[in-house]
Amino acid sequence: MKITVLDSYEEISCSAASIITSELEKNKQLMICAATGNSPTRTYEILQQTYRSRPALFSAINIIKLDEWGGIPMDHKGTCESYLQTHLIGPLAIDHSRYISFFSNPENPQVECDRIKNELDKRGPIDICILGLGMNGHIALNEPADSLKPRAHVATLSASSLTHPMISGTQQPSYGLTLGVADIFQSKMILMLISGSKKKEVTRELLSAKITTQFPASLLYLHSNTICLVDKDAYGN
């Protein structure tokens, strides 16, 4: 894992957007796995700015949703779908044919995960996987456990995940839908964004480089091309 400490959230966002843009210039058909939440929001805003001046650069980009809150309506304001439609899919004019998305309230969650797995098998691998760092060390909704599932699966949500700001004060999801660790590790590049003083303790744990499934983000040390961008507030002293 290559760890770069930058001064601010704005700097890590600019750096992440620059990396993505540079890769798009090499291959307009990139498949990007998109995380949600505060960590990538500014990165997506910068990509929107680039789109407005260079729309052709995004004409063939493909997006796959990293994870989703399960058991709530797709148009609920707290879903990852609502976030991505607002911050990425709509602003970059991503056609539905170039977007792979977990449905948030499927009749059969396991069948939905199998559908995503099959789509990724046909259209993958992921070129750039954008991740945040969960407060308990999770990546996507791969929660701390004695063992982790490799492919897209239905996840039992931890108490920590159920306090996520996206779903705070809203209808609570009853499960998660997420890409698995093997799906993420097949990505050609993993881009992890960490910012804010509230992430200081979990960042310290990541930087200890102790690799364990009880802290899923630590497994990223085993990936050959992980770039971790951290701001000074999260990095601490």
Query: How far apart, in whole angstroms, are the C-alpha atoms of residue 27 and residue 30?
Result: 6
Known active-site residue 142: no
Catalytic hit among 68, 81, 143, 183:
143
Q: Please answer whether residues 189 and 23 qualify as being in contact, where contact means their C-beta atoms are separated by less than 8 angstroms.
A: yes
CB neighbours of 21 closer than 8 A, spacing ≥ 6?
Answer: 47, 50, 57
Catalytic hit among 23, 38, 114, 136:
136
Query: How far apart, in whole angstroms, are the C-alpha atoms of residue 89 and residue 39?
Result: 17
SS3 153: strand
Per the document, the length of the chain is: 237
Question: In a 10 Å sphere around its CB, with 0-12 CB exposed, 13-18 middle and 19+ buried, how is residue 50 labelled?
Answer: middle
Known active-site residue 38: no
Catalytic hit among 138, 142, 164, 231:
138
Known active-site residue 67: yes
Residue 118 structure tokens:
């099959």
Known active-site residue 136: yes
Q: Which residues are catalytic?
A: 67, 136, 138, 143
